Each structure stands twice: as structure tokens, then as C-alpha cells.
Amino acid sequence: METKLIKTGKFIDDKEVFGIELTNTHGTYVKIYNYGAIINKFIVTNKHGEKQDIVLGFDDFEGYISEDYLADYPYLGAVIGRYANRIKNGRFSIDGTVYQLSQAKGGDCLHGGDIGFDRKVWTILPTIDPSLTLQYISPAGEENFPGNLTVQLTFKLTDDNELRLDYKAITDEATAINLTHHSYFNLSPDLGIIDQHFHRMPASNYLEQDDNYVVTGKLIPVEGTNHDFIGGKTFAHDWNPAEGYDQTYVLDKPYGEFTLASETYEEKSGLTLSVYTTEPVAHLYTAKYLSVVGGKGGANYHASEAFCVETQHHPNGINIPAFPSTVLRPGETYTQTTVYKIEHN
């Protein structure tokens, strides 16, 4: 495997932005920016022997910081932190102390606040084997979260066509943490709507949400609903095309076990994307609100033209004691592993 560092010529907050290229022996190629830990390209070989990019993004880094893009910001390919998804009313308490975060549309905190980890320049750390390790130190009080939090995220592209993401974090004060990655996938060589992608998830329950997509704490069985992906089906099989999916699924596995979260197949390319994780839930989003002008090759991205599988802890779990804890304390280490594996028939 080969690792290559590319200068972008851009500086943000006086920190230089690089593109880091990872290539394995099969020619699978991933490009990652140290800004937002963005997966910019994920190029694989499909069943026709053609090279195909399976993630949405921009040809040049400038696209990720343009005013038009940020005005209707979909977090294309970025890491999400300190806290993925929504926190009700942007408020939580730890050990009796209440913390008020910024509130997005609807009054809840979304994806870590006004400027989350997705818009920070991460430090590139030296690694021993061919891989990329990025580090971000989030100071106490950033977005009103307590504690100085040090996060490391290591990307490794294996010769089995697996892109492995290993997260690690420590803090000097009890804080809330729930990290994920927000890549938008489309496995079709023609891009376009993902309705015929065949998707499977080993999840017998999904999480109830209120009108602003905030998890309430109630688990709902998928049986008999359009959320049943256990046996696999196309996205279009049961969906309301105007809504798609924007829901969190509780994976059928022991807590912390590394196992399959989802499997998605597209017939034209013959590609299958399997997602494995140590996390207890996966949030499935079929890009209802996606609207991007001037993506790769000048393409415009529209609703339902991509899907995200966001592995994480239960959204709003910091406010729901029955859910696995999302509190990290001094002396503890937060860890998470998620793998994106690509195969073709």
C-alpha cells in the first residue's frame, strides 16, 4: 500500500490543508483531507473492470469551503463530532451540571454545534505502517462542551479492499462524545437516484423520533413496517419517495461486538458495500435534503442520490439513561472501529 501527501495550497486558521492519498495493491484509491477528515474520493474497480468513485464530493478542496455549499451544508464525507446527530434542545447534564449547546433549526443541537469537527483542520501524525492518523484537540468550552478532548482517527486501506476507521479519544473532564463519519455513497456507475440499490441491515428495532428527528428513547420493532431491512430489499421497495429514510437502527448484536451493520448492492456496477462496526446503532440517511451544485465533474447532487450509514451510539443518548452511556471520563478511552468493505461479483 502507498501513502502520498498532496499540498492544496490552502490554509484555514493558519493551518495547512493537505490531501492524503492511500492506494492498495489492487488500485483501490482513497483521498482524505485533513480538514474535517473528509473522504474526498473512494475509487474502486467494478464488475466491468472500470474504475468508479463511490462517494460524493468535489473535484477540488475549494468546493468544501465555498459559501454556496456551506449555506445548505450536507457534511459531505466528513467526520462528525463532538456529538453526532441531534441532542434534544441542545441541552444535557453530567454530574448535576447542565450544559447548553447551540441550537440549529428546530431548537436542537445537530452534529456537534455551529462548527463541529467536520470544519476543523486536523494534525497529521506520523504512522509506522501505511495508514493515516489525524488528531484534533478540542478545547474545553468549544461549542460549550466540557473538557479538553483529544481525538485520533486512523484510516487504513487494506489489500482486502477495506477502508478501516479507528477512533480513539481521551478527556480531562467528564464530557459527552458520539463520533461518526458522514460519507455519501452511490454505487451506480451512472450516479442518479439510489432507489434500486439493494440494502440489508441486521436490525430488529429502530428508534422513534419526534417531528425534528430527535430520538425519544422508544424502540419500535421493524417487523411489519417499511423499516424492515433484515432480509434485504431495494430502497424503493417500501419507501415514501418524498421522504426516503432518515432513521436510526439498533443493530442485533452484543454491545461493543465488531460485526456487520449493513450491506448494500448495486446491479449495474456489481458492487457491494459492507459496513462493519463496533457501534450499537447505524443511522440510515437517503439524502432527502441533499442539494449540491458543482460536485465532481460538474454534477449537481439531488435528493435520494446517495445514502449514508452513520455508525454511532444512540442519538440523544446523553439524555436517555436507558441507552448505552455517551459520557467519557478522565482515565477512560473512547474507542470505535468502523470498516467499509468493497467487493464486486
Distance of CA 80 to the CA centre of its chain: 7
Residue type, 297: G
Beta-carbon neighbour count of residue 8 at 10 Å? 16
C-alpha cell of residue 345: 461479483
What is the signed CA dihedral for 248, 250, 256, 258, rounded to 10 degrees?
-90
- Residue 223 burial by CB count (10 A; 0-12/13-18/19+): exposed, middle or buried? exposed
List Cβ neighbours of 324 (8 Å cut-off, separation of 6 or more). 255, 280, 313, 314, 317
Contact 209, 215 (CB under 8 A): yes
CA distances from 293 to 56, 69, 74, 75, 194 (A): 12, 8, 12, 14, 18
Asked whether the CA dihedral 155, 302, 309, 211 is positive or negative, the reply is: positive
C-alpha span between 22 and 33 (Å, rounded): 11
Beta-carbon neighbour count of residue 344 at 10 Å? 18
CA distances from 133 to 36, 83, 243 (A): 13, 20, 37
C-alpha span between 322 and 39 (Å, rounded): 34
Residues labelled catalytic = 182, 310
C-alpha cell of residue 5: 501527501
Residues in the chain, total: 345
C-alpha span between 36 and 10 (Å, rounded): 14
